[in-house]
Amino acid sequence: MTEAVFRETSAEPRTQAVPLSHLSLELGHFYLEDFEAGPAHLRQHFDRVRPWVEAARTFAAAQAGGTRPRISTCFLIDDYFTRFSSPAELVPLLLAEADRAGLVIDYLARESGCAVTGKVPVAEAVAGRIVEEPPPGSHGVRPPAAQTGWLANGERSPTARAPQAMKKATAWQPPTETAARRHSVFLDVELWSDTPDGQRIWSCPFLAAVWQLARLGLLRNQGEAVLTPQPATDAGFPDDWDELPTLVRLNPRADPFAAYRTCSVLPNRFLPVEHAVRVILDQIEVDPEALHQVAERSAREAAAVPDSVADRVSYLFYAGT
């Protein structure tokens, strides 16, 4: 006998929809050493970024289904691994150098917000959605990522062990990429490390993966959108990073922060990190209702979106520091 289950509609969690642009265009991702190099370094960065921004806008227009492309720009500052200077000092400098290059930063984000936003443990929640792809022929010998803090895109080399009596030692075997094309490009990504006092430090690639999910409008906490933009105030920027919202809308006329696709214009030193980001995104179980919302809206606008979340992310790398 089947027992019927009744629930009130109000008891079902609803997934909040977010406004979406066609493209989220990242104009930079800076760390302490970038700002320590001074205004000239910022000026050089934006001068190098400008022509690639135009190329990204042209691509977005071609993907927008014949309508005016909605494009928002963003910039990420590291206040997670190192706290330096203050928003009051750095943000005006950053905006001035972008303006000098003819660029507008619509949204400014703090990297610490990819770890924790308010009371929401964002990174921890995303880590809980990791679904590892078992390599062909694997037998569950490898501990899960939730235990080790490491995530691979294939099968690691087997651990060498002393042979048992009357048995030969296992021969060395190379690591293999799960989706290799003729030859493997194997990558093993550290997601976090734990300090002796039990504090978890999230890795740069993992926080960058969270950042991409936020820009794609796919982050939710109990159905609520995470990393939602807060308007800048007329009072200027605070002296303490903790007093600055994790995501600030600097341009009141900006198109929506989240988008169907993302593009990041970065120096090529970020290439290894962003390779790791793709490995992580390929093994995250994204909120299905958030995915459905994006698919439904993009179809209405005739703006094709890849099924793979990782394939919605693109990059333009330039040579230099």
pLDDT tens-digit series, residues 98-121? 999 999 999 999 999 999 999 999
Sequence ranges of the domains in the chain: 15-115+208-267+288-318
Q: Cα–Cα distance between 80 and 114 in angstroms, integer?
A: 9
What is the per-residue pLDDT for 62?
Answer: 85
For the stretch 34-56, pLDDT in tens is 888 888 999 999 999 999 999 99
Contact residues for 4 (Cβ-Cβ < 8 A; gap 6+): none
Q: What is the mean pLDDT of the chain?
A: 88
Quickly count: other Cβ atoms within 10 Å of residue 279's Cβ: 20
65 φ/ψ sector (left φ>0, alpha ψ -120 to 50, else beta): left
What is the per-residue pLDDT for 114?
Answer: 97
The list of the chain residues with pLDDT below 50 reads: 1-10
CB 20 within 8 A of CB 217: yes
What is the per-residue pLDDT for 166?
Answer: 59
> Among all chains, which residue has been given the structure tokens 């003819």?
102
What is the per-residue pLDDT for 1?
Answer: 46
In eight-state DSSP terms, residue 284 is B
φ/ψ of 30, rounded to 5, equals: -110, 150
What is the per-residue pLDDT for 246?
Answer: 96
What is the per-residue pLDDT for 136?
Answer: 63
Q: What is the pTM of this model?
A: 0.90
φ/ψ of 294, rounded to 5, equals: -65, -45
Q: Cα–Cα distance between 11 and 13 in angstroms, integer?
A: 6
